[in-house]
Amino acid sequence: AQRVTQPEKLLSVFKGAPVELKCNYSYSGSPELFWYVQYSRQRLQLLLRHISRESIKGFTADLNKGETSFHLKKPFAQEEDSAMYYCALSGWSSSNTGKLIFGQGTTLQVKP
């Protein structure tokens, strides 16, 4: 079964502290993994995807196929990082529709 698990509903850190938002997935093919973010009163938007292997707003995420994880990390959290973060996967196969399977989301709260 295809599933994305984000074990933490809420992660609260102080400004300047490191952040790691956990994401584990279950998928029997070649998944594409994404992190989407929703800031207060804004629409859901892509933060980063594993294929790009880039750092966005200081965030990085590495796909670990052995551990089936795609944790999101940032070495020094900023107050403007406070938002809801969703991990998502999409399958790439001949029957791929591109639909996203989302985790339940983690609220990141960065305190001053």
Positions in the binding site for another protein (CB under 8 A): 4, 6, 32, 43-46, 49, 51, 86, 88, 90, 92, 96-105
Is residue 7 classed as helix, strand or coil in its secondary structure? coil
79 φ/ψ angles, rounded to the nearest 5 degrees: -60, -35
Q: Which is nearer to another protein, 12 or 93 (CB)?
A: 93
Least distance from another protein to the Cβ atom of residue 112, Å:
27
* Strand 106-111 relative to strand 10-14, pairing: parallel
Q: % helix / strand / coil in the chain, to the nearest 5? A: 5, 45, 50
| Minimum CB distance to another protein smaller for 14 or for 92 | 92
**Minimum distance from residue 101 beta carbon to another protein (Å):** 7
